[in-house]
A and B are shown apart, each in its own frame.
Chain A
């Protein structure tokens, strides 16, 4: 089996980030990037993030709704706390904790999506 180049996994809330990503026309930015859809950023778990990294992902970017604008009230706040725990676990393991990041964008923010993906890619690759 050919070794796949490690990818940046973007965990997208389907109410915001996923919609922002859908409006993308420039496909080049999405090379080595994989978008994963979640019902809410609150579905993110520490264990899941670590599993993605164990499975060879270069990094994990979690994107949820802007704070205080989560469709489900507090999913994004929960996600933020869990990403903090994941970063600490990475630090414990001696892995660069910048492999995991969380940010908040709205469904219209395709530009911010592009900027965040670009920034993360430059950190990782």
Chain B
């Protein structure tokens, strides 16, 4: 039996509007680009001000000017998202009440949540690096220089952003806050001009950078924490008594907003980042057609790259919506209503969330413009109720002749 090749087609109009969740660096730049392409763009930010974690980089950025023409909703959050690619309907809770926004695509730029608490070890002087800021006064006012240990890649490989942050902090503490800084790292990623310069400047400022291998230990000795490891360059063990130890937060309990991910049906990968670490989705696509991700919520922490990727994600959105409509071949998965037991298996297994419940017939059905025709649901269905018209069992078996 030959494969069915002729299918009817359906036209799906793509709304020429985009919703951006998150007003940090990624969200701002994505929104700016999208507005530039001519889309009605709405940016939602839960804090009072824009900038996210990028505020420490450039506190004087004029976001109002950058985002002119974009509808900016601060102190607002997304509380519901329904619909499918080209026609989403979002409920945004704002200080003035709920607002419904229709859009053709959604960009998730919600940043990262620091899940880990301050108690990493049984010692209040070992903290996430960001919390070292709280100790600055204590350091500056000490009578003698205080030794501070900064640990870069304790649990997982760090990115350039981690290196940039640690080196900046090391120099700041060394120069301005009376500290003797020891940076411990297994690898430090400086493969970019700015970072190489930063590394050299840090060394010139007398920051000690120790490359170690194997385990690193933290032992409380009196008022100090003895940080010990095997120095790769000296080929010998090294131990430094530090008054304070900061651990780079990117290696710990940092993940994208899992509540948001669940709400919009986007997968989180093993590191808690939005978007599967899958080459087919780079740079900004997710498992759900029409929903994109940019910035630290998808694991990109290095500022220059966040901006570049936010712009290329905006371009991906543009190449979707610029078509103005999709001509969808109706070869999507078809559910046999008699056999469907509404066991919900297909709804749970579809990677693209293309399967929904037909509330009238109380059976499952696939949305033509979302269905990617992979056949995963066909293989999962315990009732053999789903068929891919171009790849029925007969057709597959018939290929052998």
Minimal beta-carbon separation of A51 from chain B (angstroms): 6
In the complex, A68→B400 CA distance in Å? 29
CA distance A52 to B398 in the complex (A): 10
Main secondary structure of the interface of A (DSSP, over half): mixed
**Most B C-beta atoms less than 10 A away, residue of A36, A51, A69, A72:** A72
Instruction: Please tell me if the beta carbons of B399 and A43 are within 8 angstroms of each other in the complex.
Output: no
- Contacts A42-B379, A48-B393; is A36 near B372 (CB within 8 Å)? no
Q: Which residues of chain B come closer than 8 Å to A34, judged between CB atoms?
A: 399-401
| Contact assessment for B277 and A37 in the assembled complex, using a CB-CB cutoff below 8 Å | no
Within 228-286 of B, Cβ neighbours of A (below 8 Å) are at 267, 276-280
With A39-B391, A71-B280, A73-B267 given, is the CB distance from A82 to B379 under 8 Å? yes
Whether the Cβ atoms of A72 and B374 lie closer than 8 Å is yes
Q: Are A72 and B388 in contact (CB under 8 A)?
A: no
Q: Residues of B contacting A48 with CB < 8 Å?
A: 393, 396-397
Instruction: Indicate if the CB atoms of A40 and B397 lie closer than 8 Å.
Output: no
For B267, list chain A residues within 8 Å (CB): 73
B375's contact among A9, A39, A47, A69, by CB below 8 Å, is which?
Answer: A39
Instruction: List the B side residues contacting A51 at CB < 8 Å.
Output: 393, 397
Cβ of A75 < 8 Å from any Cβ of B? yes
Does A42 lie within 8 Å of B375, measured CB to CB? yes
B351 lies within 8 A of chain A by Cβ = yes
B378 close to A (CB within 8 Å): yes
A52→B394 CA distance, assembly (Å): 11
Q: Is the CB of B390 within 8 A of A68?
A: no
- CB of B280 within 8 A of CB of A75, answer no
- The total of Cβ contacts below 8 Å across the A-B interface reads 81
A45 CB, min distance to chain B CBs, angstroms: 5
- Does B216 sit at the interface, judged by CB under 8 A? no
B287 interface neighbour in A39, A44, A47, A73, Cβ under 8 Å: A73
79-130 of chain B: CB within 8 A of chain A: none
Contact B400 A43 (CB under 8 A): no
Report the bound CA distance from A70 to B267 in whole Å: 14
**Chain B residues with CB below 8 A from A43, complex form:** 374-376, 378-379, 388, 391, 396
Contacts of B397 in A (CB 8 A): 48, 51-52, 55
A73 to B399, CA, bound (A): 26
Interface string of B29-64 (1 = CB under 8 A from A): 000000000000000000000000000000000000
Which residue of B is nearest A45, CB measured?
A: B379
Q: Collect the chain A residues with CB atoms within 8 Å of residue B349's CB.
A: 78
Interface residues of A in 65-104 (CB under 8 A from B): 68-75, 78-79, 82
- Is there contact, CB below 8 Å, between A78 and B373? no
Distance in Å: Cβ of B270 to nearest Cβ of chain A = 9
Q: Which residues of B contact A69 (CB under 8 A)?
A: 278-280
Check A42 against B376 for contact (C-beta < 8 Å). yes
Q: Is the CB of B396 within 8 A of A38?
A: yes
A34 (CB) vs chain B CBs: closest residue: B400
Is A63 interfacial (CB 8 A cutoff)? Answer: no
Using a CB–CB cutoff of 8 Å, the interface residues on chain B facing chain A are: 267, 276-280, 287, 349, 351-352, 372-376, 378-380, 388, 390-391, 393, 396-397, 399-401
Partner-B contacts on A (CB < 8 A):
7, 9, 34, 36-40, 42-45, 47-48, 51-52, 55, 57, 68-75, 78-79, 82
25 intermolecular pairs with C-beta atoms under 8 Å apart: A9-B400, A36-B399, A36-B400, A37-B399, A38-B396, A39-B391, A40-B375, A40-B376, A42-B374, A42-B376, A43-B375, A43-B379, A52-B400, A69-B279, A70-B278, A70-B280, A71-B374, A72-B352, A72-B372, A73-B276, A73-B352, A75-B351, A78-B349, A78-B376, A78-B380
Given contact pairs A36-B400, A70-B280, A73-B276, a sample of 9 additional A-B residue pairs in the complex whose CB atoms are under 8 Å apart: A38-B391, A44-B379, A52-B400, A68-B276, A72-B374, A72-B376, A75-B374, A78-B376, A79-B379
Identify the 9 closest CB pairs spanning chains A and B, nearest first: A43-B375, A42-B376, A73-B351, A72-B374, A40-B374, A36-B399, A45-B379, A71-B280, A39-B375
